[in-house]
Amino acid sequence: MQISVPFQAPSRISNPTLFEQKLSDLHKCTNLNQLKQIQALIYRANLHEDPFVAPKLIASFSLCRQIALAVQVFDQIQEPNVQLYNTLIRAHIQNSQPSQALAAFFEMRNRGVWPDSFTYPFVLKACSGQDSLRLVQMIHTHVEKYGFGSDIFVPNSLIDSYSKCGSMGIQAARKLFMVMVERDLVSWNSMVGGLVKAGELREAHQLFDEMPDKDTVSWNTILGGYVKAAEMDSAFELFQKMPERNVVSWSTMVSGYCKVGDMAMARMLFDKMSTKNLVAWTIIISGYAEKGLENDAISLYNKMEEAGMKIDDATIISILAACAESGLLGLGNRVQSSMKRNRYKCSTHVSNALVDMYAKCGRFNRALSVFNGMEKRDLVSWNAIIQGSAMHGHEEDTLQLFSRMKQEGFA
């Protein structure tokens, strides 16, 4: 078995102390150019197969969203150990590649590398949705067979994964939770959260009441369940009982009142918030926009900017979607003008939201201008502009757009 130990830089490295410091912090590096420079030094020092260095290099490439380079580092290791496999599995998960994470797990087993207690929580993150139930059950069998059920992190991860697998999964989560000899706060929170996701609100609340200890996550989980079910009286009662509220608690309540159309209550709670983050501002502005209250929405948008908040993709898309739903061209224009002023770099998702908003607000030419100016288009882009063209009765333009879409391989 290989054991990762701290190393000393080879004598041929000009500044060994600096090099060792860079390697020590390597797994935190998010600057790709700097990372490639360090990688060159690692190869020069013949440390690319070092069991201490290689996992850090893989983790850093993963943080830089360079999963192909991370896999290249892994593939150069002749006999990867469990730590390397765990790092690779985690890298695939971080880069939204659940299938590749599972493939790495099965390859590890086929090569006779034994999993450890860290392997299962990582690989279980690749399992979600009803289609994953049998896979989670298979991993559960592995866990029991090889004696990892006593490590509380593993059954906690199993409960979380089972809870994402529909009604059959929640039954399996319940069964596992009931037989656990030791439960910690994460176990209870995972089970309550699973029941909330499954819509089993009464059972979730009963389990919540039985919890020996609760933290803010526990309270926010059950609070979110009542808000999702639009049971705002029960949610408010819980909110008042909370021993400690954070920005998530307040934002959840504001969101709930926006969804049921009680903007007076939503605004009262929003104004009472001692700390308002971008999410809270987005919720209340989108809430006013969805109800067609453009003046209130624009006023709050201005206040948000005065408070020094910098908009991001999630905020822009949420507000523009609300504008599209209610036909609020003025607010949509206000958002785009602030994007231009701040030289905001539009992602494809943001451009899609602009196209959709302008088309639905009766400004098809502006929608087409945004569409034609996009660096990269996806199927959503084409659907938005074609639907917008058809909605405005531009039959010839619609046919031409559909023909262009086919030429670019989207149909």
Q: Where are the domains of the chain?
A: 1-114, 124-205
Residue 366 pLDDT more than 80?
A: yes
Give me the pLDDT at residue 150, please.
87
Q: List all residues 6 or more positions away from 126 whose beta carbon is below 8 Å from its beta carbon.
A: 89, 92, 93, 98, 99, 101, 102, 105
Report residue 19's pLDDT band, with 50, 70 and 90 as the boundaries. Answer: low
Residue 308 pLDDT > 50, yes or no?
Answer: yes
How far, in Å, CA of 327 to CA of 325, rounded?
6
pLDDT band, residue 21 (cuts 50/70/90): low
State how far the Cα of 360 lies from the Cα of 388, in Å rounded to an integer: 7
Q: DSSP strand E in 148-194: where?
A: none
Q: Which residues contact 340 (CB under 8 A, 6 or more apart)?
A: none
pTM for the whole thing? 0.83
- Average pLDDT on 137-164 reads 93
Phi, psi (degrees; rounded to nearest 5) at 165: -110, 35
Q: How far is CA 347 from the centre of its chain?
A: 17
Mean pLDDT of 208-212: 97
Q: How far is CA 368 from CA 27, 173, 176, 351, in A?
A: 44, 49, 54, 11
Which of 218-222, 254-258, 260-264, 399-403 is least confident? 399-403
Between CA 161 and CA 170, with CA 167 as vertex, the angle to 5 degrees is 45
Split at pLDDT 50, 70, 90, the class of 17 is low
Express as a percent the part of the chain with pLDDT over 90. 79
Q: Is the pLDDT of residue 12 over 70?
A: no
pLDDT of residue 47: 83
Confidence of residue 411 (pLDDT cuts 50, 70, 90): low
Q: Does the pLDDT value for residue 5 go beyond 60?
A: no
Report, as an integer, the average pLDDT of 277-296. 97
Where does the pLDDT of residue 2 fall: very low under 50, low under 70, confident under 90, or very high at 90 and above?
A: very low
Residue 103 per-residue DSSP state: H
| Residue 131 in this model has a pLDDT that exceeds 70 | yes
Distance, in Å, from the CA atom of 268 to the CA atom of 60, rounded to the nearest integer, reads: 45
Rounded Cα–Cα distance for residues 277 and 246 (Å): 11
Environment class of residue 353 by beta-carbon count within 10 Å: exposed (0-12), middle (13-18) or buried (19+)? Answer: buried
Q: Which two tokens stand for residue 123?
A: 């690989």
Res 183 pLDDT > 90: yes
Whether residue 174 is predicted with pLDDT greater than 50 in this model: the reply is yes
User: Whose CA is closest to 386, among 375, 373, 406?
Assistant: 406
19-23, 251-255, 348-352: least confidently modelled range = 19-23
pLDDT of residue 129: 76
Half-sphere exposure of 406 toward its Cβ, with a 13 Å CA cutoff? 6
Name the residue with tokens 């790495």.
Answer: 104
Mean pLDDT for the stretch of residues 77-102: 94
Q: Which two tokens stand for residue 189?
A: 């929170």
292 vs 40, which has greater pLDDT? Answer: 292
Torsions phi, psi of 382, nearest 5? -65, -45
What does the pLDDT average to over 81-106?
A: 95
**CA nearest to 107, candidates 129, 130, 123:** 123
Closest CA to 363 of 355, 371, 374: 355
Residue 6 has pLDDT above 80, yes or no: no
* Residue 14: per-residue pLDDT: 46
Question: Which residues, in sequence order, are CB contacts of 245 under 8 Å at separation 6+?
Answer: 216, 239
Q: Is the pLDDT of residue 15 over 60?
A: no
